[in-house]
Amino acid sequence: MKFEMMRKLVVPTAVFLISTFGVACGSSGIEGTYSNGGSVVLDIRSGGKADLTMLGEQEHCTWKASDHKVTITCNKDSVDFIRHDDGSLGGPVFVGTLKKSKE
């Protein structure tokens, strides 16, 4: 009887905490403008929309985030960026590290 009561309290509480924590950590704070200080600017907006500008050419893209990865998809081509602890995004060699310049 005591076990059933604990289970009825613990399971819903655990599900709530995990789902809240997962949403909070998944993509919070990722929106903003990132740049490598040179030829690449990535503007990540809410709703999964993004603009990627390289050498003056802008592409309208989509994005999705997981634990430590952000995937930008432009015209069916995808590029993965790694989220660093300082909030910067590490891209492929030709992009380098993008630092957040605007919220």
Domain count, the chain: 1
Residue 62 maps to which CATH number? 2.40.128
Measured at the CA of 71, the angle between CA 70 and CA 75, to 5 degrees, comes to: 150
For 80-101, the pLDDT digits (tens) are 999 999 999 999 998 999 999 8
Q: Which pLDDT band, with edges at 50, 70 and 90, does 60 fall under?
A: very high
For 12-31, the pLDDT digits (tens) are 433 333 333 333 444 558 99
Rounded alpha-carbon distances, angstroms, from residue 27 to 8, 32, 35, 38, 99: 30, 12, 19, 25, 16
Residues 50, 31: Cα–Cα separation, whole Å: 9
Domain interval for residue 61: 31-102
Instruction: Pick 33 or 2 by higher pLDDT.
Output: 33
Which token pair is 26? 């998944």
Nearest to 45 by CA among 37, 58, 34: 34
Q: Is 84 inside any structural domain? A: yes
pTM above 0.75, yes or no: no
Q: Is 45 inside any structural domain? A: yes
Q: Is 11 inside any structural domain? A: no
For 3-17, the pLDDT digits (tens) are 454 444 434 433 333
Nearest to 70 by CA among 38, 43, 103, 36: 43
